[in-house]
Chain A
Amino acid sequence: MEYMLLIYDQPGRWGSLAEEERNAEYEEYFALSRELRERKALVSSNELEPESTATTVRVRNGALDLTDGPFAETKEAVGGYYVIDADSLDEAVEWAAKIPSARTGAVEVRPVVTHEAEVSA
């Protein structure tokens, strides 16, 4: 089963870290990605630019409406994601718990919908 692990954390936190702390945390992410790849569990993953760089798109009555910033201004913002392959929710949760931001923010574990067409491929 595929799961998306949505990584939430406080936007300001990353900037407030010293360089060594930031590097240490990156190392954790690299190690995690390496482990996922070795276990053939990694589907995709990305770090996202901060939400101040986001643009929100709406189309209403055929008209395009753009706003500067993320969809919702929340205390914690999505900073990145993993899409993984896991046998069960327990396994997905084990991976999610290894994400550094799980300690300071939160990781949402969402099952990915499988569509028939893709399954047969």
Chain B
Amino acid sequence: MQDAFEAALARWGDDPPANPGAWIFSTARNRAIDRLRRDRTLARKTELLARLQELEVTVEERGALPDERLELIFACCHPALDTEVRIPLALRLVCGLTTAEIARAFLVPEPTLAQRLVRAKRKIRTAGIPLRVPPEHLLPERLTSALAVLYLTFNEGYSAASGDSLVRPELCDEAIRLAKLLTALMPDEAEVLGLLALMLLQDSRRAARSGPDGELVLLDDQDRSLWDRERIDEGRRILERALSLRRSGRYQLQAAIAALHAEGAPGATDWRQIAALYGELARVAPSPVVELNRAVAVAMAGAPDDALTLLDRIEGLDEYHLLHATRADLLRRVGRDDEARAAYARAAGLARNAAERTFLERRLAAVSGVAGS
């Protein structure tokens, strides 16, 4: 998401654009997760079985939909396991991420996380947490955790460390495959359909999303002929099915935003609708990141003052340089140059590498120059 911000600010340009340079956030994450650097491939069946042995449980007789990974996900998300350990456990056991990688992603010391994982595995084994897709009467309540795990898996694949490659297709494919299994299992659960729609819509841009050097390519710059139209259509069909069930939720809202981006021509994105959807998302699944996305959408829809009001209400992103950079840019656009300068300076101070700092210092200089003339 960071790259999207940076690139977006670069694209905003020095003059208030008549046709705002469009940029897109990838679907807002609920946590700020650092980019991981990975070399490993996703676990194959044999490795999965080895991990099952690690759990020292026997795989129960499979039901109508035999898939060990789905069973593992539900086991990892069992309510008898501490909330904090479910997603790390699933990432470890289902996706094969190392403890070190997961610890970094969740900003937890590695030994602490390792201990939690050991305890969780022991609990599954000793307390008899079943390795199976939950029976019908338990399924709905077990779903929330499972959906979160799938979404996180997809996101890991979708925005993998730049430098290697921006997208790790195996993780995305895996998450989509599991989501499809879930929809077959629960065809009338709106959010299950919503999550699948979201993944398909985002994944449709996979081929266009990274450049020859592995760098992020903005939505507006993407070669749309590389977009997988079938994926988009499939995603939209599934989203419509979800919406017809009239049980809104965070994944459907995010899918709707993704669908709007998918259908808008370059420079003609329906930002007002997107802003409205982010507003609803902020109600349903509030987070500072969603608020930030919403502010940006509001600004893109042509109301930078309103966007500034929204930005000023955000709590928890004070150390995030792009919050201040966004603010700075908006302040500049509405002519509050002194404040813009201060915000750019603040942003530059929080920048985490030379490239970010240079970029922001350049903006700062531009604002100072304008004010002087």
Which A residues have a C-beta under 8 Å from some C-beta of B?
A: 1, 3, 86-90, 92-93, 109, 111
A110, closest chain B residue (CB): B127
Chain B residue contacts of A92, Cβ below 8 A? 128
B127 with A111: CB separation less than 8 A:
yes
Cβ contacts under 8 Å, B64 to chain A: none
Contacts of A1 in B (CB 8 A): 128
B138 at the interface (CB under 8 A from A): yes
Query: What's the interface size class on B, roughly?
Result: 10 to 19
In the bound complex, what is the Cα–Cα distance between A65 and B56 (angstroms)? 42
Question: Which residues of A are found within 8 Å of B130, using beta-carbon distances?
Answer: 87-90
Contact B138 A90, beta carbon cutoff 8 Å: yes
The answer for the CA separation of A88 and B59 in the assembled complex, in Å, is: 12
Q: Which residues of A contact B78 (CB under 8 A)?
A: 89
Please report which residues of chain B, range 42-84, place their CB below 8 angstroms from some CB of chain A when the two chains form the complex: 78, 80
**In the complex, how many angstroms separate the beta carbon of B89 from the nearest chain A beta carbon?**
15
Q: Which of A86, A89, A109, A111 has the most CB of B within 10 A?
A: A89
In the complex, A109 Cα to B138 Cα: how many Å?
18
| A88 (CB) vs chain B CBs: closest residue | B130
Quick one: closest A residue to B78, CB to CB? A89
Closest to A1 in B: B128
List CB contacts (< 8 Å) of B75-100 with chain A: 78, 80
Does B126 count as interface, using CB distance less than 8 angstroms?
yes
B78, B127, B129, B138 — which one has the most chain A CB atoms within 10 A of its CB?
B127
How many CB-defined contacts (below 8 Å) exist between A and B? 25
- Residues of B whose CB lies within 8 Å of any CB of A are 78, 80, 126-130, 134-135, 138
Q: Using Cβ atoms and an 8 Å threshold, which residues of chain A touch B128?
A: 1, 3, 86-89, 92, 111
The 9 closest A-B pairs by CB, nearest first: A88-B130, A89-B128, A1-B128, A88-B128, A89-B127, A89-B129, A111-B127, A111-B126, A90-B130
Inter-chain contacts of A111 with B (CB < 8 A): 126-128
Q: Chain A's nearest CB lies how many Å from the CB of B211?
A: 49
The complex places the Cα of A88 from the Cα of B134 at a distance, in Å, of 12
> Across the interface, which residues of A come within 8 angstroms of B127, CB to CB?
89, 109, 111
**Residues of A contacting B: mostly:** mixed
Nearest chain B CB to A115's CB is how many angstroms away? 14
Chain B residue numbers with a CB within 8 Å of A109 are 127
- In the complex, the chain A residue whose C-beta lies closest to that of B135 is A90
12 more A-B residue pairs beyond the given contacts A89-B128, A111-B126, with a C-beta to C-beta distance below 8 A: A3-B128, A86-B128, A87-B130, A88-B129, A89-B127, A89-B129, A89-B130, A90-B130, A90-B135, A90-B138, A92-B128, A111-B127
Residues of chain A lying within 8 A (CB to CB) of residue B126: 111
A3 to B127, CA, bound (A): 9
Chain B residues within 8 Å of A89, by CB: 78, 80, 127-130
Please indicate the chain A residues that have their CB under 8 angstroms from the CB of B80 in the complex. 89, 93
The docked-state distance in angstroms from the alpha carbon of A111 to that of B129 is 11
Q: Which B residues are in CB contact (< 8 Å) with A86?
A: 128
CB of B32 to closest CB in A, whole Å: 34
Whole-angstrom CA separation of A87 from B134 in the bound complex: 14
Complex CA distance for A92 and B126, rounded to whole angstroms: 13
Docked Cα-Cα span, A1 to B134, in Å, equals: 19
CB distance from B29 to the nearest CB of A (A): 31
CA distance A104 to B86 in the complex (A): 28
- A109-B78 Cα distance, complex, nearest whole Å: 15
Contacts of B134 on A, CB cut-off 8 Å? 90
Q: Pick 9 A–B contacts, CB within 8 A, sort by A.
A: A88-B128, A88-B130, A89-B80, A89-B127, A89-B130, A92-B128, A109-B127, A111-B127, A111-B128
Q: How many Å lie between the Cα of A86 and that of B129 in the bound state?
A: 11
In the complex, A89→B129 CA distance in Å? 5
Q: Which residue of A lies closest to B134 (CB)?
A: A90
Complex CA distance for A70 and B138, rounded to whole angstroms: 38
CA distance A89 to B78 in the complex (A): 10
Complex-state Cα separation, A90 to B130, whole angstroms: 7
Residue of B at shortest CB range from A90? Answer: B130
Min CB–CB distance A88 → chain B (angstroms): 4
CA of A111 to CA of B128 in the docked complex: distance in angstroms?
8
In the complex, which of the residues B127, B128, B129 has the most CB atoms of chain A within 10 Å of its own CB atom?
A: B128
B76 to chain A, nearest CB (A): 14
Task: Give Cα distance in the complex from A93 to B80, angstroms.
Answer: 10
How many angstroms between the C-alpha atoms of A111 and B127 in the bound complex?
6
